[in-house]
A and B are shown apart, each in its own frame.
Chain A
Amino acid sequence: MKKTSISRRKFLGTAATVGAAGVVAPAIITGCSSGKAKVFKPVDLGTFLDQAPDGPVLKAGLIGCGGRGSGAAINFLNAGPNLQITALGDTFRDRLDRCREGILKQKGQVVPEENCFVGFDAAQKVIDSGVDIILTATPPYFRPEILAAAVAARKHIFAEKPVCVDPVGARSVMATALKAKEMGLTIVTGTQRRHQRDYIGTYNQIKAGAIGEIVGGNVWWNGLKLWHRDNDPSWSEMEWMIRDWVNWCWLSGDHIVEQHVHNLDVLNWFTGGHPVKAVGMGSRQRRVTGDQFDNFSVDFVFEDGRHFHSMCRQINGCAPNVSERLQGAKGSTNCQNLIQDLAGTEIWKYPYPADAEGKENPKAMKPAMDQEHVDLVTSIRNNQGFNELENTAISSMVAIMGRVSAYTGKEVTWDEMMNSDMKLGPKVFAFGPVDIPKAVPIAGEAYVPPAPGQKT
């Protein structure tokens, strides 16, 4: 039995987060290990590598060759020496070709034709193609199944957030995460703030008590409209939905799950817990296609009664704000790079590296989307078993809890989510019409006008 918790603690600031157990052993009986103290130690940023260490060739297969998947493939190849993309899978040939071309143009690597898989069964074929690592950035709906299959085949994984769109998927991923942990697999999940050096530097300050106990806060993703695809008469409804996936709840989880999960994940990370109750509201004002809202406002409550407010919007021409703010008993922080006292005076600032002109510049810091792949490959090559999948499953479930509350207008609890059999998506999965309710949800009960002549 091999203990890896110390090195992992140095590696990333996960020691104080949920479930940082540190024993790697594949058997059913792991038996008899001594206590695993979860003591917080500040992360030494010196251990952050700009490049992953060298080692034998690691082959990765990419499932989901859209924009983010293609980007993740390049991020991965940039992470260190001896890294290859050897298989691609997507529902659509044109997306796969574009991605394959990008890899060739930018990194000079040719993905062999026999390892290019198209269709709904592409994922399993990529997993079975002899790769060491699975990179996946499909619409989130597909994530739980792909993760389960990849872990069953003992692959290391980079998976984009969110990792599920409904409670059934969330629980499946939680179990997959724990299985992977016992196998010692490395899993990085696209919640890149946890790989961002300024966030981690700030996290260390907060854990050391810079703002005292956290008493409340806000998280925001108030941003622009994302993309949409208009229907094409040559497409089936299924094809249109998948190509237009960020606008359909069953595929994306709605934007509170698909995008705002980043900020909710920071809330969970910094507080070391997660909300257990949500009362939310939201609506659809300017979204063009699909069945989703374009704004949510949710009051999240922790077990101990602390309230945190979450707000997200995808509408152009409104006040933008993508950030977090946590209030402590002694001060506040934006979680990213700044700590203020109660009077609002700056008491700490993250020291960014200097740029070419010698000025402190956040842009001189390794971008988090690259850093997460450096961390992925480093953990695999050093056999560190870094695994953040369970955290991301919990953060995704928190976002789902907020969505369900806003859709229904009801208070929704963590226990209800953990006991829910809600599973989104059609029962039959094939190109053609998609058999799901497509109406935009309306919360609460309608006012029923009195019959004519009747007094109110």
Chain B
Amino acid sequence: MKRFLIWFVPGFIVGILLMVGGGKALDKTSTNDYCVSCHIHPAADMSWKRSVHYETQSGYRVACVECHLPPKGHGYLWAKGTTGLRDLWSYWTRDSASFNWEDRSRLEVARGHVYESTCIKCHENLFPAELTKEGEDAHLYYKQTKKTPDLHCINCHLNAGHYMEGYTHGSNKTFGSVSSAPKEIYKEPAKVTSHNSFTELIPNSSISFRMIAIPGGKFKIGSSDDEPFRRNDEGPVKEVEISPFFMAEIEVTWDEYLAFYAQTSAEGRSSDTEGIRAKQPSETDAISGATPPYGQPDQGWGMGQRPAISFSYHAAETYCRWLSLVTGKTYRLPTEAEWEYACRAGTETPYFFPGVPKKFEKTGLKARLSKNDTTIINSYVIFKTNSQAKTQTPDRVKPNPFGLKNMLGNVAEFCADWYRPDAYSLYEEEALSDPKGPESGEEHVVRGGSFMDMAGALRSAARDYTRTEAWLKTDPQIPKSIWWYSDCFNVGFRVVCEFDEKTGKL
């Protein structure tokens, strides 16, 4: 018994001390001052102090840990332990100046360090009396779909904890009303009679853009089995003949897209619920274009010469029909074969410049240790390593041998074809000229990779496809927009213009 007491009493006291001390330590390490003492991010502190969660209506100041840790009893200790260890590791081993804080506040990154359970703990009532009509629809939608983990409060309220310049929450009615484009208004489209590169002029706007003449020829579509990072949908390799055509030098810019938006945008929205699917208007019908977007489709990165993003495949197709109408030429999305032919520009290597993917990786432990040199790819491609997590203007990169910029990287690009993994094996053997892909499908081909991708996904042969449902996941409008994707901002498109060799007609 005595022996027991000798061990028990001190053990008991130590235990109590640990509990008290532990509790104190938990509190101490959860104050705002404590967070700021290690987290060297003055911008985040400032934006927090300008946010609605700093000066709240109720006078309650929301602390760092209240959003960045789950509520107590919902994995609080575990999250505090793991994030604490990670923070310590970073503090000792990494240079905080190298962190891209802006990137950390992008939605999909922020979802990893903002806990929805915390939002709901305080905002239990999603239907306050003063909620607007738009808010009602959005919160009903949230209530209906919250069984899925995709929808987070910050999908719409990203600026709740940290102030964001220009963040728009709601229907963006003034979108596109200010353009950075020069002011000369073109009356006539460009007149073109031969297969030479030209500058297209959009009538009744101040917008022009370069169209590059792409010579006809033969090439091998797809990649061979031994290409690194190759996926099965890149084969079998087929030799394909492509007729001459024109392709835009750069991805459709915000300036170009806004010209379309300004001339066609519409308020009206239609519903399918009476069983009447919206009919495609014929070529000659006046074109009814996009409705106002919800939120900030340029992600606040700026517009101008940056590639347009966030619009739907349907919007891209409508843009082409509109452009054809106002220029009297035949503009459309490139076929997948045209796209790869133009991208390769005669090359048969993974890229249209020298090098192999694994030598260009800069992210990940192994890549960092292996001293990869990204100088070459940096000069041709906007990708994960050099994009600073956003699109960039075309002047940042050099063109491919045909004179086309950003075929790889910056934004991925819609193609006209339906996507199928086995599309190439379906090409008709006898007539391998200008293949148009499968006759029907669910999703369309997307090519070229984007600013979010690593080198492996940016190869000339790499294929991807649209994800219509996922890209509209958090659109709170009812019905969802057919013009804007709420959850896709790394895909754009590039126009091609048809050229008839016999008649010289475009």
Contacts and interface: CB of A to CB of B under 8 A. Distances in A.
Interface of A: 23, 25-33, 151-152, 154, 167, 171-172, 174-175, 178-179, 181-183, 404, 407-410, 412, 416-422
Interface stretch (B117-125, B227-235, B354-362, B367-375): B117-125
A163 B246 CA distance: 58
A376 to B, nearest CB: 21
Contacts of B200: none
Contacts of B126: 178
A404 to B, nearest CB: 6
B122 A175 contact: no
Contact of B128 (A28, A32, A410): A28
Given A30-B124, A179-B128, A420-B478, 18 more contacts: A26-B129, A27-B58, A29-B58, A29-B124, A30-B122, A33-B124, A171-B137, A174-B140, A175-B131, A175-B136, A175-B137, A178-B126, A179-B129, A182-B128, A412-B273, A416-B273, A421-B273, A422-B271
B274 A404 contact: yes
Given A28-B57, A152-B129, A410-B275, A419 B478 contact: yes
6 contacts: A27-B128, A167-B273, A404-B273, A418-B478, A419-B273, A421-B478
Given A26-B129, A171-B140, A171-B478, A420 B273 contact: yes
A408 B275 contact: yes
B269 interface: yes
B335 to A, nearest CB: 33
A102 to B, nearest CB: 35
B81 interface: no
B274 A408 contact: yes
B479 A183 contact: no
Given A26-B129, A167-B273, A175-B136, A418 B124 contact: no
B127 A29 contact: no
A28 B140 contact: no
Contacts of A416: 272-273
B139 interface: yes
A175 B480 CA distance: 18
Given A178-B126, A421-B271, A422-B273, A171 B479 contact: no
Contact of B121 (A31, A151, A417, A419): A31
B485 to A, nearest CB: 16
Contacts of B124: 23, 29-31, 33
B478 A175 contact: no
B144 interface: yes
Nearest to A181: B127
Interface in B130-144: 130-131, 133, 136-137, 139-141, 144
Nearest to B269: A421
Contacts of B131: 175, 179
- 5 smallest beta-carbon distances between A and B, as pairs: A420-B273, A175-B136, A408-B275, A178-B127, A30-B124
B136 A27 contact: no
Contacts of A32: 121-122
Nearest to B137: A171
Contacts of B130: 28
Interface in B93-133: 121-131, 133
Given A23-B124, A31-B121, A410-B275, A419 B136 contact: no
Interface in B253-280: 269-275
Given A407-B274, A417-B273, A421-B271, A28 B125 contact: yes
B66 to A, nearest CB: 11
A179 B127 contact: yes
A29 B123 contact: yes
Nearest to A177: B127
Contacts of B57: 28
B479 A29 contact: no
Contacts of A412: 273
A114 B18 CA distance: 74
B146 to A, nearest CB: 13
A31 B122 CA distance: 4
B107 to A, nearest CB: 22
A409 B139 contact: no
Contacts of B128: 27-28, 179, 182
Nearest to A30: B124
A422 B144 CA distance: 19
Contact of A183 (B121, B129, B133, B140): B129
Contacts of B137: 171, 175
Given A28-B57, A29-B58, A178-B126, A420 B136 contact: no
B275 A409 contact: yes
B275 A419 contact: no
A171 B129 contact: no
Contacts of A27: 58, 125, 128
Contact of A171 (B136, B270, B272): B136
B127 A175 contact: yes
B479 A420 contact: yes
A37 B478 CA distance: 32
Given A29-B122, A421-B478, A182 B271 contact: no
A408 to B, nearest CB: 4
Contacts of B141: 418
Contacts of A407: 274
A32 B123 CA distance: 9
Nearest to A401: B273
A33 B122 CA distance: 9
A176 B503 CA distance: 64
A418 B131 CA distance: 19
Contacts of B479: 419-421
A23 B127 CA distance: 13
Contacts of B480: 419
